[in-house]
């Protein structure tokens, strides 16, 4: 059995809005293993980001609230540890980068300072070594003329360079786990590849686990060891990258893979999954995918499917297999 360094159990994160309770994360379970890169995949609004933010308790509250569950990191439950302990883990044990590097960096501080501040804070280094480390990190993520550019401000960098800065800051204290929430979504395709390369290098060089969140299955193929497919705040399918791409079980996963454009098919139209993303305020009874599911059965509309073990690494939550 593989050892999970982070274990998410029965996580429920709800948002209390004017129009009702949004069950953004509804009883989600999965684990992250040492040194693996795990991709969390799903459409917009399926609860990927809410899951990621819940791990470090970064959900904006109000309106969001983690209702229940457990997030086990080593021997601690992050949902129940003290604020002080949580701050020691944030940025040090588990670091996070976000979708939009433009707004995620503070415009009025130099990038050097924004990388250095957590080094000072967690590693308690003096001025000189902090600066050296910052410089080294910036060189590592491929920022040219790093020594001069440390003193520059975020607006003086391009989008791709800003995301490199974010990565450098996240790596600064040598985290065990890096959570990357759609880190390439806001970037051009060419820049996106460069950033993905950094992630691939990181995986090889460091014994670091990566939780990579994306809606783009194409990105996933190039980076993931294992994949968690989410739909409507719940987990649809979990498996290795081969399980998911070669033998997808869940009709939703099928749908996602069918949506990938196939150049050899030379079709005029792009495929899509019919129907709309369900409202998470008042989800249908039973399987949340059933209204859009081409293989929906009677039971799908009545009972919520349990997770079924397909093979050693492969789990699916679908009545077709129970």
Residue 76 interacts with other proteins (CB under 8 A): yes or no: no
Cα 220 to Cα 227: distance, rounded to the nearest angstrom: 8
Instruction: Decide if 183 contacts 208 (C-beta within 8 A).
Output: no
Residues 160-189 that bind other proteins (CB under 8 A): 166, 169
User: Residues 91, 233, 255, 283: which binds other proteins (CB under 8 A)?
Assistant: 91
The pair of three-digit structure tokens given for residue 21, joined into one six-digit string = 């309770």
Instruction: Decide if 318 contacts 251 (C-beta within 8 A).
Output: yes
User: Residues 27, 29, 88, 185: which binds other proteins (CB under 8 A)?
Assistant: 88
The pair of three-digit structure tokens given for residue 13, joined into one six-digit string = 């994160």
Residue 105 interacts with other proteins (CB under 8 A): yes or no: yes
Instruction: Decide if 35 contacts 208 (C-beta within 8 A).
Output: yes
Instruction: Decide if 56 contacts 94 (C-beta within 8 A).
Output: yes
User: Residues 12, 34, 92, 215: which binds other proteins (CB under 8 A)?
Assistant: 92
Nearest approach, Cβ of 48 to other proteins (angstroms)? 16
Cα 48 to Cα 288: distance, rounded to the nearest angstrom: 16
Residue 65 interacts with other proteins (CB under 8 A): yes or no: no
Residue 59: Cβ-neighbour burial (10 angstroms; 0-12, 13-18, 19+)? buried
Nearest approach, Cβ of 39 to other proteins (angstroms)? 20
Nearer to other proteins, 89 or 143 (CB): 89
Binding part of the chain for other proteins, among 31-39, 115-123, 237-245, 247-255 by CB under 8 A, reads: 115-123
Find tokens 């979990």 and name the residue: 238
Residues 120-139 that bind other proteins (CB under 8 A): 121-122
* Chain positions contacting other proteins, by CB under 8 A: 56, 58, 60, 86-92, 95-96, 98, 100, 103-110, 117-118, 121-122, 153, 155, 166, 169
């Amino acid at each position: 059995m593989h050892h999970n360094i982070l274990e998410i159990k029965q996580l429920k994160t709800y948002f209390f809005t004017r129009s009702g309770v949004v069950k953004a994360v509804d009883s989600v379970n999965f684990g992250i293993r040492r040194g693996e890169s795990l991709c969390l995949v799903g459409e917009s609004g399926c609860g990927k980001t809410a899951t990621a933010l819940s791990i470090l308790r970064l959900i904006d509250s109000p309106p969001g609230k983690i209702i229940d569950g457990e997030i086990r990191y080593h021997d601690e439950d992050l949902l129940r540890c003290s604020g002080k302990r949580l701050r020691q883990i944030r940025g040090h044990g588990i670091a996070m980068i976000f979708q939009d590097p433009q707004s995620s960096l503070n415009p009025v501080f130099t990038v050097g300072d924004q990388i250095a501040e957590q080094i000072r804070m967690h590693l308690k280094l003096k001025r000189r070594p902090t600066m050296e480390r910052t410089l080294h990190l910036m060189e590592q993520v491929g920022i040219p003329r790093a020594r001069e550019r440390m003193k520059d401000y975020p607006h003086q960098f391009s989008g791709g360079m800003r995301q490199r800065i974010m990565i450098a800051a996240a790596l600064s204290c040598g985290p065990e786990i890096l959570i990357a929430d759609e880190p390439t979504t806001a970037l051009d395709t060419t820049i996106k590849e460069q950033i993905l390369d950094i992630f691939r290098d990181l995986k090889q060089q460091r014994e670091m686990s990566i939780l990579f969140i994306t809606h783009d299955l194409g990105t996933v193929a190039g980076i993931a060891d294992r994949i968690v497919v989410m739909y409507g705040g719940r987990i649809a399918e979990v498996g290795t990258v081969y399980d998911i791409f070669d033998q997808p079980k869940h009709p939703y996963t099928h749908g996602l893979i069918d949506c990938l454009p196939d150049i050899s098919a030379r079709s005029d139209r792009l495929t899509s999954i019919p129907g709309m993303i369900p409202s998470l305020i008042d989800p249908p009874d039973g399987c949340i995918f059933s209204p859009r599911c081409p293989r929906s059965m009677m039971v799908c509309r009545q009972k919520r499917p349990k997770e079924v073990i397909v093979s050693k690494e492969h789990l699916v939550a679908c009545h077709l297999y129970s």
